[in-house]
Amino acid sequence: MKLIGSGSGSGGQRRGIARALKEHKARLYIIRRCVVMLLRC
């Protein structure tokens, strides 16, 4: 996983990365739940 720093507003960018990471984790969690449900059927 690469983090590309553009150098403009590091604080805001870090917050954006954290938010994107949280959304990505939520998406992975949902996908995992769906896969588990499909496997159990």
Please name the residue that has the structure tokens 């449900």. 37
* Distance, CA of 15 to CA of 9 (rounded, Å): 10
Mean pLDDT on 15-23 = 92
pLDDT at 30 over 80: yes
* Distance, CA of 35 to CA of 13 (rounded, Å): 32
pLDDT at 9 over 60: no
Close Cβ partners of 17 (under 8 Å, ≥ 6 residues apart)? 3
* Distance, CA of 18 to CA of 24 (rounded, Å): 10
Mean pLDDT on 5-12 = 60
pLDDT at 10 over 90: no
Mean pLDDT on 17-38 = 96
pLDDT at 35 over 80: yes
SS3 state at 7: coil
